[in-house]
Structure 1
Amino acid sequence: MLGGMSWESSLEYYRLLNEAVKERLGGLHSADCVMVSINFQPVADMMKLNDWKGISRVLEGVSRDLKRAGADFLVICTNTMHLLVREIEEASGLKVLQIGEAVAERINAAGLKTVGLLGTRFTMERGYYRDAFGRRGIEVIVPQERDRESVDGIIFQELCRGVFTKESREIYKSIISKLQSEGAEGVVLGCTEIPLLIKQSDVEIPVFDTTAIHAAAAAQFALADG
């Protein structure tokens, strides 16, 4: 598990993965896993500079460390860094269990054809989710530019720092309502910190918690031969 981006959601990954294994196997069973939690500040600084080559070098090195530690596959505990899946797989030789594929399968199973997407500006504006969803005929709607700035700002200035306010929840709820009015049948919480703020009870349309979906997929994949 490649975590730390931010540790707030990496903690949820660890909890959810172990709960899924315990539910499946019972007793004192827990996940046999290795996690490296990196310092997010240098990575966030490179994101501001759009230095994706620098970020890739960091994550490639960590992925090789995880392979040496005995990992059989890799879970990147964040949405945005899935933009670097190809580079990480090539550097480490490990399969990355992709969050976009897991979420797309869940949406497809729910029978939805149009979903809203919230996340960092990189997640909302680049093609990672559009590609994964498009292969299944699912359309993606993102907020307007000003709302994208609000969503992104709250993620980095509050959620990644463990700050969860009623005011920010209301901003997100308003943006989700706009997406719903534009035709979204559900909303993808495409940043692993957003589910710490927004719950299904906060909105009318189905919520897709990418942290929970990805952790469940990791447990299922790890136990597939068990």
Structure 2
Amino acid sequence: MQTIGLVGGMSWESSASYYEALNRGVEQRLGGLHSARTIMASVDFAEVTALQEAEQWDGVADILREAAISVERGGADFLMLCTTTFHRVAEQVADAVEIPLLHLGDVVAEACTAQGVESVALLGTRFAMSRTFFTDRIASHGLDVLVPDARHHDELNRIIYDELVHGKVVDSSRRTVVEMIGELWDAGAGGVILGCSELELLVRQADSELPVFGCTSLHVSRALDRALA
């Protein structure tokens, strides 16, 4: 079994989901008392978020590079960033280490195309929806990528940062997000990407008639394929 390197803390709720899913996945695949070989470096979410909001991306990259290097030195065979928004500096992080980075955008795009989806909607933080660093990566796989209308961005951002990163799952927020998915379906989306780990706490496949692609679930599944190959 290979050792999976994790750069986490963005948020710790997201990192906890990654850790739990990796270990449950190994248990399911191998049985018995097996668990995942992992090394995690967890950063301060408040620090990197403040730098993000100030558009100080070199500072964000420095923090995540240091975390990635520490994970590599700890013996990881490959690297995962337990975040969508901070994939904004994924290339800088990948360049700082010798081990490969399992890029979330590639994993999600490949899952969409495998199901025959040609047009997919992305739900995530305001930053991830309003910038193109993540949607362009997905589109490079031949997919059309939609995002919610700009009038929804602040509300979705509030749900993520004020509720979900603190572990609060609110039914009214679920209804709000499901209504957004309905609008995106009307706009031509053939599937929806939950482009923020915390959104998987809120929305399930049962809530949507569109195929739902959860970033964390897909990222973890691909990591386990690689670690256990």
Pairwise TM-score range, normalised by the shorter structure: over 0.9
Q: Distance in 1 between matches of 2:161 and 2:99?
A: 29
- Given candidates 121, 125, 128, the residue that maps to 1:120 is 125
Deviation at 1:96, TM superposition (A): 0.9
Question: TM-score w.r.t. structure 1 length?
Answer: 0.95
Q: Decide which moves more: 3-12 or 122-131.
A: 122-131
Q: Counterpart of 1:95 in 2: which secondary structure?
A: coil
- Given candidates 209, 215, 226, the residue that maps to 1:204 is 209
Q: Distance in 2 between matches of 1:100 and 1:221?
A: 16
1:37 and 2:37 are equivalent in the alignment: no
Q: Decide which moves more: 15-24 or 71-80.
A: 15-24
- Checking the alignment, whether the CA contact within 8 Å between 2:121 and 2:145 is kept in structure 1 is yes
1:166 and 2:171 are equivalent in the alignment: yes
String of CA shifts for 1:129-155, please: whole Å, max 9, x gaps. 333332332100101111122112221
String of CA shifts for 1:107-131, please: whole Å, max 9, x gaps. 1110010111100122212223333
Q: Which amino acid aligns with 1:155?
A: I
The 5 A counterparts of 1:93-104 are 93-104=98-109
Deviation at 1:174, TM superposition (A): 1.1
Q: Counterpart of 1:185 in 2: which secondary structure?
A: coil
- Checking the alignment, whether the CA contact within 8 Å between 2:87 and 2:134 is kept in structure 1 is no
Q: Distance in 2 between matches of 1:77 and 1:202?
A: 24
1:60 and 2:61 are equivalent in the alignment: no
Structure 1 residue runs without a partner (length 5+): none
Q: Which amino acid aligns with 1:35?
A: M
Q: Counterpart of 2:178 in 1: which secondary structure?
A: helix
Deviation at 1:26, TM superposition (A): 1.9
Structure 2 residue runs without a partner (length 5+): 1-5
1:82 and 2:87 are equivalent in the alignment: yes
Q: Distance in 1 between matches of 2:135 and 2:179?
A: 23
- Checking the alignment, whether the CA contact within 8 Å between 1:100 and 1:128 is kept in structure 2 is no
Q: Decide which moves more: 69-78 or 130-139.
A: 130-139
Deviation at 1:159, TM superposition (A): 1.0
Deviation at 1:9, TM superposition (A): 1.6
Q: Distance in 2 between matches of 1:34 and 1:136?
A: 30
- Residue 111 of structure 2 corresponds to 106
Question: TM-score w.r.t. structure 2 length?
Answer: 0.93
- Residue 3 of structure 2 corresponds to none
- Checking the alignment, whether the CA contact within 8 Å between 1:4 and 1:39 is kept in structure 2 is yes
Q: Distance in 2 between matches of 1:207 and 1:130?
A: 16
- Residue 5 of structure 1 corresponds to 10
- Checking the alignment, whether the CA contact within 8 Å between 1:104 and 1:133 is kept in structure 2 is yes
1:47 and 2:73 are equivalent in the alignment: no
Q: Counterpart of 2:71 in 1: which secondary structure?
A: helix
- Checking the alignment, whether the CA contact within 8 Å between 1:115 and 1:187 is kept in structure 2 is yes
- Residue 15 of structure 1 corresponds to 20
CA-atom RMSD in angstroms: 1.2
- Given candidates 199, 203, 206, the residue that maps to 1:194 is 199
Runs of 4+ in 1 over 4 A off after TM superposition: none
Q: Counterpart of 2:96 in 1: which secondary structure?
A: helix
Q: Distance in 2 between matches of 1:41 and 1:137?
A: 35
Q: Counterpart of 1:116 in 2: which secondary structure?
A: strand
